[in-house]
Structure 1
């Protein structure tokens, strides 16, 4: 059974551990400020629990441009042993629903091509923004 729960000051360190286990430090390094700011984003940061064990997390941030809101996914990770159990999908769906409830028009993520997860997002309704594609990143977005 998959359940989601808030990230709070008492369990914040778990996010750091999940990210360390899921992301190659040669590709992605999260600064200390990423973790410090996590508490302030409220519902835009959630843990995923599988049978009461914390196995994944999503961390987003809200952006406002010309009175239009967007949500950027900064981190979405599931521990390798728990992948292919719809946990990542549940975290992504939660992020999309929370973004829509907050009146965001779009949700997006910037990925390193080295991560090789673009297809996962495409299968969940995201599209590649070809105009923003660079050697170092690809932007995928979904209208809400």
Structure 2
């Protein structure tokens, strides 16, 4: 990982002292090491996917998107500036399913956008995958 990986994680996770966690200590361990370090639960996967969007890591986004709903490819708008993430709630909906409600804020073309979604996740063979979501 690059030295910039000690900067604050894009997902905004805080430590016990209410200080931002470094990317390397937060989502970076999943995004950079997906093959060996899968996210332990749906909330961590959702946070790491947000960080992957910020860092334009299509490889991680594709790898963590369930094959049944995964798009063929992803395009990133270079004008998009991610502003922050707020996790509203997360809950188990079954032994291997979960939901995470979040709000992601970004700016594109000078316009502020607020993405409010309840995402669905499934665990298969010990790994969590994003399935789909309902925008609020």
Question: Is the helix fraction higher in 1 or 2?
Answer: 1
Tell me the TM-score normalized by structure 2.
Answer: 0.29
